[in-house]
Amino acid sequence: MNTRLSLTLITVFLLNGCVAYTAVAPGPVTVGAMTVETGRMWNAAPGGTSAASNPDTQIWTSDGLLLNRIVIIPGVQDGQPIFKQESDSQALPLFKADMLPNEIEELTESSIVKLFGEGQVSVDTANLRPNRFGEDRGVLFDMLVTVSDGPNYRGLTGAFIHEQQLFLVIYLGAEPHYYNKHRAEAEAIILSARI
């Protein structure tokens, strides 16, 4: 595995040596202005563990961040990237409040590619479909993240716009075992998202 990809994996997926996780108890959990509901215990990585995370973003895992994770991104402002841009050369795509569903799907896809580094990962999305998140209309779509020299990830993303802000919940699990192991619970968390 080359050095850049190794460092990117560490940064993006928040593997930071001995990390002190916080237990996320079953029930409703508020992240920024968004609430999600979990039916079982998860482990939240500490804030600021990843340079790529915006301040309100939470990242949960069950088996370790390189095996599975739920990324909860509340309230991305118009004109901002969904992940924190670490350098000007990274040029992450920006969210626009008037984006169509397929544009939100493309924004998520290209943002993940930019974080990993182009040529180090391919992201394919599929099965874009409408979904209601409380009173807000949004979308669900599936993802396949193929990493050079690393595990491949399968995932599901839920996204909606509320008052000109983008709210996302992304589940990724190493395939096939870790994706399948928590897929049903992760989907329930995504579907529970609301303001």
- The rounded distance, in Å, linking the Cα atoms of 172 and 175 is 9
Q: Can you give the residue ranges of every domain in the chain?
A: 3-192
pLDDT of residue 120: 80
3-192: which CATH number, 3.10.20.600, 1.10.3720.10, 3.10.20.340, 3.40.1000.10? 3.40.1000.10
83-130 per-position pLDDT tens digit: 887 766 668 899 999 999 999 999 999 998 887 777 788 999 999 999
pTM of the model: 0.86
Element (H, E) at 24: strand 22-24
Q: What is the pLDDT of residues 96-106, one digit of tens each?
A: 999 999 999 99
> 168: which DSSP letter?
E
